[in-house]
Chains A and B, each alone.
Chain A
């Protein structure tokens, strides 16, 4: 049994090393050398001259945009998502799986398609107007608000699920114990339920923060190219075969990701809230 399982694991291990580990090393190497399509391996040299990119204004603005939008998306998703997760947790319905399915239902359609649809709804002449005669949003396409709504809409389920999981794992007796010890229901929420669901909040925040910061499709589409994220710069660099700069920015993103994973393991050692 153990042996055949070992053999069956080999394809993934190969896939992991060929398609993840080697490219990762290559990315780091490209970011600190002059390697590109015109330079052969024999001419390979260590250089950090393209690191000047990190001090250029467009890059800094893109980083700032990425961080600010990722931060606000995380915060909004947390506030709204916590209520949703708590409501699902408190529902008296037996089959909560159905409710959770509804929460993740938007993920069933393609991300680009959804975002384009949102762009249409945010535009002057949109589908809602032609159907109902009025629109809820007005013409906000291309504005920061549109981007923020798009990001929250897309990534909120990633916040709701881990918080819900963390809440489900809290023993109801603990809340009763808090009430028994003289706390009001509100106090017992803040002193018992919220601290115990906090690791779900951390996991959810990272699951929202990272893809938002690294993403490029949603801001590109919804801001009509006006708001540049770091992902958009990486995208452009690779399109114009400036691999060194693109790889460098990707490495910087990688550092953020590793930092987040470290943070997550501190709060949720067994990764319980991910399941």
Chain B
């Protein structure tokens, strides 16, 4: 639809020759609009099972100074997916992103995009664009020129294919060539204007990039990448420099944009909340190794180890024993659980999120403790409860005074059980 709108604008210009070509392209575009990105996106989401793999990282390793920053990483990313690489700084997430973008060559392994090995392809030959951490806008160019930069520096051949307006072979006279180039240039202009409208920056075309706010710079960086219609958009902590309110707004907008445009977004962040809000899938990384890969829900509710449990949200972890099927013992009491299979009597770790504790009358409670700290957080209260000599975190809607006794219990389906990590590592 956007393309047609752009062409309608175009047809108002009084260049007759261009008009003719525009009509022709309009027909082509009309045919094409049957496979409009918005609609294909919906269609593909309906048939989620047969997704096409877009990027495959196979055994990818990158070593700096003898240390594996990315260590035999295997990852498949599908079309129209919003994937977040999540982890603390130094976990290899940015290096992974830079290898996909082509700025860093992997030492081992293969990077396959669209079924082709991309290892040695330079960045400019990849159907990938990046939104950089500090935006990397060109300070010597206006907002408009920044967004137009990618297209302006392409060959006319490339642009003809890009816009789907092929030159007629029959009349290759100089004049028609010039008209064709003129057409392409007007198409670049309107593509840039569309991109700026998409990121809500209409009217800022002639501003210098240092005359706009951080949030606006971020939008320019986004428009500059999106105008090239990449198959894959890489985002390297693009929201890190924005204030909280703006960051939350951008999170929704980014997610919306990704859904609308049907582009694969690969997002890098150390902010677990950001990852939760936007992602279809989250890749939790540590020391160059993927710890867990899954939907935000599964990563949150069923962390595979202590590290993931701690990194994603607040949590309580207890040592326990898996007594028999659907029964686990921890904190001196037996709890019913569901859905886990371990050996009877095996030592396990039990994860319970603060909001999953239910506060009950003392006589019904499995755990009894004393409130040692209470903090009002708006919607809920955050309590520290001391049970014996263990302090646990509990979120509740009720208010409790410090020193008050409190009874707690947990529903079976809220109990998550993990294997004890073999190397006994404490995170």
Contact = CB atoms under 8 A, between A and B. Distances in A.
A176 interface: yes
Given A174-B138, A192-B138, A179 B124 contact: yes
A173 interface: yes
B120 to A, nearest CB: 14
Nearest to A192: B138
B101 A196 contact: no
B294 interface: no
B140 A184 contact: no
Nearest to A182: B124
Contacts of A184: 122, 124
Interface string B229-263: 00000000000000000000000000000000000
Contacts of A182: 124, 150, 153-154, 228
- Interface residue tally on B, bucketed by range: 20 to 34
Nearest to B124: A182
A156 to B, nearest CB: 26
Interface string B382-405: 000000000000000000000000
A195 B149 CA distance: 14
Contacts of B123: 176, 179-180
A117 interface: no
A179 B125 CA distance: 9
Contacts of B140: 195-196
A189 to B, nearest CB: 12
A187 interface: yes
Interface in A155-187: 171, 173-174, 176-185, 187
A191 interface: yes
A176 B153 contact: no
B132 interface: yes
- Identify which of A171, A180, A185, A187 gathers the most chain B CB atoms within 10 Å of its CB: A180
A176 B132 contact: yes
Report, as a range, how many residues of chain A touch the other chain: 10 to 19
A49 to B, nearest CB: 51
Interface in B131-145: 132-134, 136-140
Given A182-B124, A182-B150, A196-B139, A177 B228 contact: no
Contacts of A185: 122
A180 B129 contact: yes
Nearest to A175: B136
A19 B139 CA distance: 42
B124 A183 contact: yes
Contact of A191 (B128, B139, B153): B153
A171 B149 contact: no
A187 B153 contact: yes
Contact of B150 (A171, A173, A181): A181
Contact of A176 (B128, B136, B139, B224): B136
A195 B101 CA distance: 25
B122 A179 contact: yes
Interface in B68-113: 101-103
Nearest to B227: A181
A171 B149 CA distance: 17
Interface in B10-68: none
B129 A181 contact: yes
Interface string B248-292: 000000000000000000000000000000000000000000000
Nearest to A172: B136
Nearest to B132: A173
Nearest to B127: A182
Contact of A181 (B133, B134, B228): B228
A176 B124 contact: no
A177 B136 contact: yes
Most buried by A among B122, B123, B130, B225: B123
Contact of B136 (A174, A187, A195): A174
Contacts of A196: 139-140
Contacts of B124: 179-184
A193 to B, nearest CB: 11
A168 to B, nearest CB: 15
Contact of A177 (B128, B130, B153): B130
Contact of B103 (A174, A176, A183, A187): A176
B142 to A, nearest CB: 13
B136 A183 contact: no
A180 B130 contact: yes
B139 A177 contact: no
Given A181-B149, A191-B153, A173 B134 contact: yes
Contacts of A187: 153
Nearest to A171: B136
Nearest to A170: B139
Residue with the greatest number of chain B CB neighbours at <10 A, chosen from A171, A176, A181, A183: A181
Which of B134, B139, B224, B228 neighbours the largest number of chain A CB atoms within 10 Å of its CB? B139
A12 to B, nearest CB: 34
Interface in A68-104: none
A178 B145 CA distance: 13
A140 B216 CA distance: 61
B140 to A, nearest CB: 5
A177 B122 contact: no
Nearest to A184: B124
B132 A177 contact: yes
A83 B136 CA distance: 25
Interface of A: 171, 173-174, 176-185, 187, 191-192, 195-196
19 contacts: A171-B136, A173-B133, A173-B134, A174-B138, A174-B139, A176-B136, A177-B132, A177-B136, A177-B224, A178-B149, A179-B124, A180-B130, A180-B225, A181-B149, A182-B150, A182-B153, A184-B122, A184-B124, A187-B153
Query: Top 9 nearest A-B pairs by Cβ distance?
Result: A181-B150, A173-B136, A177-B136, A179-B123, A180-B130, A182-B124, A195-B140, A183-B153, A180-B123
Given A181-B153, A181-B228, A195-B140, 17 more contacts: A173-B133, A173-B134, A173-B136, A174-B136, A178-B149, A179-B103, A179-B122, A180-B123, A180-B225, A181-B129, A181-B224, A181-B225, A182-B124, A182-B153, A183-B153, A184-B124, A196-B139
